[in-house]
Amino acid sequence: MSTVQQETFDIIAKQAKIDIATIKPESTLKDLGIASLDAIEVLFDLEEHFNINLPNEDTDFDNGTVGQLVEAIERQIAQKATEG
């Protein structure tokens, strides 16, 4: 598990008040019982933690998986690193 994935899972578990063991890369935020408003809080926490901005197309609450969210965060981190 990558550091980004571990930290993302930690933030989701803390925000949603769920056991981190229940989070799988193929889970959606909806599957985890995270309502839309809570999902927005999760995204804010992730953006703040990683010091990035997630584009709207990377934040599909209903169908997007946690794994896709981790990939989106990793892309943003990589893009930020190349921009200096």
pLDDT tens for residues 5-51? 999 999 999 988 999 999 999 999 989 999 888 888 999 999 999 99
Task: Report residue 57's pLDDT band, with 50, 70 and 90 as the boundaries.
Answer: low
**How far is it, in rounded angstroms, from Cα 51 to Cα 62?**
24
Q: Rounded to two decimals, what is the model's pTM?
A: 0.88
Domain hosting residue 60, numbered range: 3-83
**How far is it, in rounded angstroms, from Cα 36 to Cα 56?**
14
If you ran DSSP here, which 8-state letter would residue 1 be given? Answer: -
Q: In this structure, what CATH number is given to the domain that contains residue 41?
A: 1.10.1200.10
Number of domains in the chain: 1
